[in-house]
Structure 1
Amino acid sequence: MKKALTLSFAIAMTLSLCACGSEKNSTQNYESNEPAVISEKLSPAEQLLEDIEGTYDELFTVICDTKYNQVWIDKCEAFVGKDMAESTAEMLKSSCTATLYGEDAVNAYTNSEDIRFDCYFINGVKQFVFNGSNISGIDNSGKKLFEHEYKFVKDFSLGGMMEGYLYETTDNDAGEFRYFLMMPDTPATTYHTEFRYGSDLNDLAEYNKGGYAYWLAAGIPVNCGEKMIEDCISLFVEENLSETSEEEEKPAA
Structure 2
Amino acid sequence: MRRKMFVMPLAAAMVLSAVPAFASEGTSSAAEETVEETSEASSTEESESEGVGDVLANLEGTYEELFPVIADAKYDDLWLGFCAQYGDEENAQLYSDMLKGSTTALIYGAEAVDTYAENPDDTAFDCYFLHGVAQFTVEGNTITGTDADGEEVFSHTYTYVGDAEDGSFAIYKSDDENSGDFTYFAFAADTPDTTYHIEFRYGYTEYKINSFYDGDYAYWMASGIKTDASEDVISDCVELFCSENLAE
TM-score range, shorter chain: 0.7 to 0.9
Matches within 5 A, 1:210-229: 210-229=215-234
Alignment-derived partner of residue 56 in structure 2: 49
CA distance in 1, matches of 2:228, 2:102: 25
Alignment partner of 2:128 out of 103, 106, 120 = 120
Greater mean deviation of Cα atoms: 98-107 or 67-76: 98-107
- 1:152 matches 2:157: no
State yes or no: 1:183 paired with 2:188: yes
Tell me if structure 1 keeps the 8 A contact 2:168–2:210. Answer: no
The count of corresponding residues between Structure 1 and Structure 2 is 207
Any idea what SS the aligned residue of 2:100 has? helix
Question: Displacement, 1:82?
Answer: 1.6
Is the Cα contact below 8 Å between 2:57 and 2:140 reproduced in 1?
Answer: yes
Residue in 2 that maps onto 1:25: none
| Deviation digits for residues 152-186 of structure 1 (CA, Å, limit 9, x no counterpart) | 001115xx4x6121000131220010000011111
| Of 98, 102, 107, the match for 1:95 | 102
| 3-state SS, counterpart of residue 154 of structure 2 | strand
Q: For residues 6 and 96 of structure 1, what CA distance do their matches in structure 2 show? A: 17
Determine if the alignment matches structure 1 residue 204 to structure 2 residue 209. Answer: yes
In structure 2, what is the equivalent of residue 29 of structure 1? none
Aligned amino acid, residue 125 of structure 1:
V
Residue by residue over 1:39-95, the C-alpha shift from the partner in whole angstroms, topping out at 9 and shown as x without a partner, is xxxxx744x212110000101111010101110000000132221001111100111
What secondary structure is seen at the aligned counterpart in 1 of 2:189?
Answer: coil
Tell me the residue number matched to 2:16.
5
Correspondence 1:19-38 to 2 at 5 A: none
SS state of the match for residue 148, structure 1? strand
Native 8 Å contact 2:172 2:186 kept in 1: yes
Contact residue 101 and residue 118 of structure 1 kept, 8 A: yes
Give the structure with the larger helix fraction. Answer: 2
Q: 1:195 aligns with which of 191, 197, 200?
A: 200
- Could you tell me how far 1:204 is from its partner in structure 2? 1.0
What is the letter of the counterpart of residue 239 of structure 1? E
Task: Tell me if structure 2 keeps the 8 A contact 1:6–1:113.
Answer: no
1:56 and 1:222 in contact (8 A); partners too: yes
Q: Distance in 2 between matches of 1:138 and 1:147?
A: 9
86-95 vs 203-212, which moves further: 203-212
Q: Scaled by the length of structure 2, what TM-score is found?
A: 0.78
- CA displacement 1:194-236 (0-9 Å, x = unmatched): 1000112123132111211100011000000100000000011
Corresponding position of 1:76: 83
Q: Which residue of 1 aligns with 2:24?
A: none
* Residue segments in structure 2 that go unaligned for 5+ positions in a row: 1-14, 19-31, 46-51
Conserved? CA contact 2:110–2:216, under 8 Å: yes
Contact (CA 8 Å) 2:65, 2:129: kept in 1 or not?
A: yes
Q: Which residue of 1 aligns with 2:48?
A: none
Structure 1 unpaired stretches of 5+: 20-43, 247-253
1:106-135 Cα shifts (integer Å, max 9, x gaps): 111023332100011011110000011000
Q: For residue 38 of structure 1, what is the aligned residue in structure 2?
A: none
Root-mean-square deviation (Å) = 2.2
Identity rate, percent: 42
CA deviation string 1:13-52 (max 9, x = no partner): 7xx9xx9xxxxxxxxxxxxxxxxxxxxxxxx744x21211
Instruction: Say which one has the larger Rg.
Output: 1
Match for residue 68 of structure 2? 61
